[in-house]
């Protein structure tokens, strides 16, 4: 009798082969590794993106403050003998720190500092009835008549005023007291100029923006008592100037007075270079041309007359992430941080703006 062997068949309960198990394990590890990588990426981005956004916002805020003051640069008195922009008599933007403390020499030019001058109260200009002696750090000016019914032409304790004439001679003073029609002024420079009777007094704002490299800060100084931090985590600042390629024709004093550009009968006495424009009507003005003369003015407020060419100012600000763990190494970082992987780093942020102050261009 012929008997057939029983048929053997595989069932799910028999399990996987070794090869199948290894394939499944590898696939599982790949999925887990991918999930962990995505989780790490999301964590790094979640940590770095808010810092990057904050960095950009703070840089824009800082430059907007500088641009606001630059836009007002050079605004002068609304009436009187020297009515019109200050830029017809003196530079309203100077590449150095100016004020009572820490003032740079008048021969100094810096790419990381600029001082801006403007009048917030152009209707309150007056003229002195007495001379101002340059050798005296404190000066009393008397008989300042009302301006449009405003006592002492609006001068008040703590206010900064500019004394200047049409020859380029000028000085900054702090008002320390007012009484009746008299005011007491304190010079904001170690070597103040002298002025004859009739010099214009104008309430002004003076603001120096300077990059403090050791502290990594952008600071603002009012020339007198306030020297405050504008923003932290600054690792670079560069100021550049563009302007007229042709030599300046101001300041031009009245006949009988000579200055750095003209003799007493109004004839030009200075020979200045003509610069080629860079694609438009304005030319780049290298910093070194602001430190070779001829010099206008007197005392610490002397200035290179080439500053009268300036028509626009470009400012580049570079900032870093405040947290060391968000900075890595390489060209993206002025100051390397401690992060070893590029993922999740916040690169230094650079922002540039250009301001063309109206009062530096009007009537040109």
Give the model's pLDDT for residue 345: 85
Give the model's pLDDT for residue 44: 52
What residue ranges do the domains of the chain occupy?
A: 52-116+207-360
Any idea how long the chain is? 364
Parallel, antiparallel, or unpaired for β 200-203 and 126-127? antiparallel
Read off the pLDDT of residues 21-80 as tens digits, 9 standing for 90 and up.
Answer: 677 667 777 776 666 555 455 455 557 778 888 999 999 999 999 999 999 999 999 888
Q: What is the pTM of this model?
A: 0.85
Bigger pLDDT: 151 vs 187? 187
**CA distance readout (Å), 220 to 66, 208, 344:** 9, 5, 33
**CA distance readout (Å), 295 to 88, 89, 102, 196, 315:** 16, 13, 21, 20, 26
Lowest mean pLDDT across 191-195, 254-258, 281-285: 191-195
Give the model's pLDDT for residue 16: 62
Q: Quick check: 92 pLDDT over 60?
A: yes
Give the model's pLDDT for residue 14: 58
Report, in angstroms and rounded to the nearest whole number, the Rg of the chain calculated over CA atoms. Answer: 33
Q: Quick check: 150 pLDDT over 90?
A: no
**212-233 per-residue burial string, b: 16 or more CB within 10 A, e: under 16:** beeebbbbbbbbbeebeebbeb
Distance from C-alpha of 343 to C-alpha of 41, rounded to nearest angstrom: 7
In sequence order, the 6+-apart residues with CB closer than 8 A to the CB of 153 are 124, 125, 126, 144, 145, 146, 147, 201
């Amino acid at each position: 009798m012929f008997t057939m062997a029983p048929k053997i068949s595989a069932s799910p309960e028999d399990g996987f082969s070794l090869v199948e198990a290894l394939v499944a394990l590898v696939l599982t590890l790949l999925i887990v590794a991918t999930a962990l990588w995505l989780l790490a990426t999301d964590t790094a981005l979640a940590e770095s993106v808010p810092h990057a956004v904050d960095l950009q916002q703070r840089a824009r805020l800082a430059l907007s403050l500088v641009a606001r003051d630059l836009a007002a640069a050079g605004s002068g008195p609304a009436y009187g003998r020297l009515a019109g922009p200050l830029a017809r008599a003196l530079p309203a933007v100077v590449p150095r720190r100016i004020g009572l403390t820490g003032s740079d020499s008048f021969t100094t030019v810096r790419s990381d500092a600029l001082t801006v001058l403007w009048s917030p109260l152009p209707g309150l200009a007056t003229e002195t009835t007495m001379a101002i002696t340059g050798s005296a750090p404190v000066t009393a000016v008397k008989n300042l008549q009302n301006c449009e019914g405003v006592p002492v032409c609006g001068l008040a304790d703590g206010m900064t005023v500019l004394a200047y004439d049409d020859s380029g001679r000028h000085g900054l003073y702090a008002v320390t007291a007012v009484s009746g029609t008299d005011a007491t002024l304190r010079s904001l420079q170690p070597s103040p100029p002298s002025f004859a009777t009739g010099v214009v007094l104008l309430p002004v704002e003076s603001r120096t923006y300077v990059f403090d490299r050791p502290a990594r800060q952008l600071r603002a100084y009012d020339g007198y008592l306030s020297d405050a931090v504008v923003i932290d985590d600054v690792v670079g600042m560069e100021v550049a100037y563009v302007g007229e390629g042709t030599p300046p024709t101001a300041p031009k004093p009245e006949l009988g007075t000579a200055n750095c550009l003209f003799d007493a009968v109004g004839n030009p006495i200075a020979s200045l270079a003509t610069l080629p424009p860079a694609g438009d009507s304005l030319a780049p003005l290298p910093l070194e041309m602001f430190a070779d003369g001829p010099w206008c003015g007197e005392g610490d407020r002397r200035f290179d007359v080439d500053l009268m060419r300036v028509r626009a100012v470009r400012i580049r600000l570079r900032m870093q992430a405040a947290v060391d763990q968000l900075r890595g190494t390489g060209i993206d970082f002025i100051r390397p941080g401690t992060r070893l992987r590029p993922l999740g780093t916040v690169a230094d942020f650079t922002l540039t703006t250009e301001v063309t102050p109206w009062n530096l261009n009007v009537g040109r």
